[in-house]
Structure 1
Amino acid sequence: MHALVLLTAVTALARMTVSDRYHPDEIRREPISRMAPPPERDPSYWINEAEAGIRERLRRRDNRNVARNIVMFLGDGMSVPTLAAARTLLGQRQGRRGEEAKLAFETFPTTGFSKTYCLNAQVADSACTATAYLCGVKANSGTVGVTGDVPRYDCDDSADPANHVDSIAVWALEDGRDAGVVTTTRVTHASPAGVYAHVANRHWESDEKVRDDRGDPRRCPDIAHQLVHRSPGNRLKVILGGGRKEFLPIDEYDEEGFPGARGDNRNLIKEWQANKQSEGVSHAYVWNKQQLMNFSSSPPKYLLGLFKNSHMHFHLEANQTTEPTLAEMTEIAIKSLSRNKQGFFLFVEGGRIDHAHHDNYVHLALDETIELSKAVEVAKKLLSEEDSLIVVTADHAHVMTFNGYMERGGDILGVSDDKDKDGIPYMTLSYSNGRGARRQLNGVRVNSETHGGDDVGVFARGPHHDMFSGVYEQSQLPHLMAYAGCIGPGLHACGNGCDKKRP
Structure 2
Amino acid sequence: MPVSRQLAFPALTALLLAAPALAQPVATTDAYRNQALAELERLKADAPIIGKARNIILFIGDGMGVSTLTAARIHQGQRQGVDGESFVPAMDRLSSTALVKTYSHDGQVSDSAPTATAILTGVKTRNGVIGVGPEVAENDCAASKQHELPSLFGLAQMQGLATGVISTARITHATPAATYARTPQRDWEADSDLPEAARQQGCMDIARQMVEGDVGSRLDLILGGGRANFLSTTTRDPEYVDRKGKRADRRNLTTEWRRRNPRGAYVWNSDAFGKIDLARTPRILGLFEPDHMQYEADREKDSGGEPSLAEMTRAGITMLGSREKGYVLLVEGGRIDHAHHGGNARRALEDTIALDEAVKVALDMTDRKDTLVLVTADHSHTFAISGYPGRGNPILGAAAFAGQPLKAKDGKGYTTLSYANGPGAAGDGPRADPLQADTIALDYRQQALVPLGSETHGGDDVVARASGPMAHLVKGTIEQHSLYYIMREALALSNNQ
CA distance in 2, matches of 1:423, 1:488: 63
What's the offset of the Cα at 1:422? 2.6
- Residue 337 to residue 36, structure 1, CA distance change in 2 (3 Å): closer
8 Å CA contact 2:22, 2:83 repeated in 1: no
The residue that corresponds to 2:98 in the other structure is 112
- Residue 156 to residue 35, structure 1, CA distance change in 2 (3 Å): closer
What's the offset of the Cα at 1:62? 2.6
**Which ranges of structure 1 fall in alignment gaps of 5 or more residues?**
1-33, 490-501
Match of 1:423 among 403, 406, 411: 411
Match of 1:168 among 116, 136, 152: 152
Match of 1:479 among 472, 476, 485: 485
Residue aligned with 1:427, SS:
coil
Matches within 5 A, 1:30-429: 37=24, 40-160=26-146, 163-211=147-195, 214-216=197-199, 219-256=202-239, 257=241, 258-277=243-262, 282-295=263-276, 297-298=278-279, 300-318=281-299, 319=301, 322-417=305-400, 418-429=406-417
- Residue 325 to residue 296, structure 1, CA distance change in 2 (3 Å): farther
What's the offset of the Cα at 1:175? 1.3
The residue that corresponds to 1:448 in the other structure is 454
Q: Which moved more, 1:312-321 or 1:84-93?
A: 312-321
CA distance in 1, matches of 2:381, 2:48: 35
Q: Is residue 2:420 matched to residue 1:435?
A: no
Query: Any idea what the Cα deviations from partners look like across 1:161-197, whole Å, max 9, x if unmatched?
Result: xx01111111211111110100000000000010000
Query: Any idea what the Cα deviations from partners look like across 1:339-376, whole Å, max 9, x if unmatched?
Result: 11211100000000000000001000000000000000
**Which ranges of structure 2 fall in alignment gaps of 5 or more residues?**
1-20, 401-405, 433-450
Q: Which moved more, 1:49-58 or 1:257-266?
A: 49-58
CA distance in 1, matches of 2:167, 2:477: 27
Give the total of aligned pairs: 449
Q: Which moved more, 1:311-320 or 1:325-334?
A: 311-320
Residue aligned with 1:372, SS:
helix
What's the offset of the Cα at 1:97? 3.0
CA distance in 1, matches of 2:132, 2:376: 22
CA distance in 2, matches of 1:244, 1:299: 25
Aligned AA for 1:150? Answer: V
CA distance in 2, matches of 1:438, 1:142: 30
Aligned AA for 2:225? Answer: G
What's the offset of the Cα at 1:438? 3.9
8 Å CA contact 1:172, 1:488 repeated in 2: no
- Residue 194 to residue 84, structure 1, CA distance change in 2 (3 Å): same
8 Å CA contact 1:240, 1:306 repeated in 2: yes
Aligned residues: CA RMSD: 2.0
What's the offset of the Cα at 1:36? 9.0
Q: What's the TM-score, normalizing by structure 1?
A: 0.86
- Residue 299 to residue 369, structure 1, CA distance change in 2 (3 Å): farther
Residue aligned with 2:388, SS:
coil
Residue aligned with 1:61, SS:
coil
- Residue 244 to residue 218, structure 1, CA distance change in 2 (3 Å): farther
What's the offset of the Cα at 1:487? 1.5
Aligned AA for 2:155? Answer: W
Q: What's the TM-score, normalizing by structure 2?
A: 0.87
What's the offset of the Cα at 1:299? 5.1
Residue aligned with 1:40, SS:
coil
Aligned AA for 1:119? Answer: H
What's the offset of the Cα at 1:105? 0.9
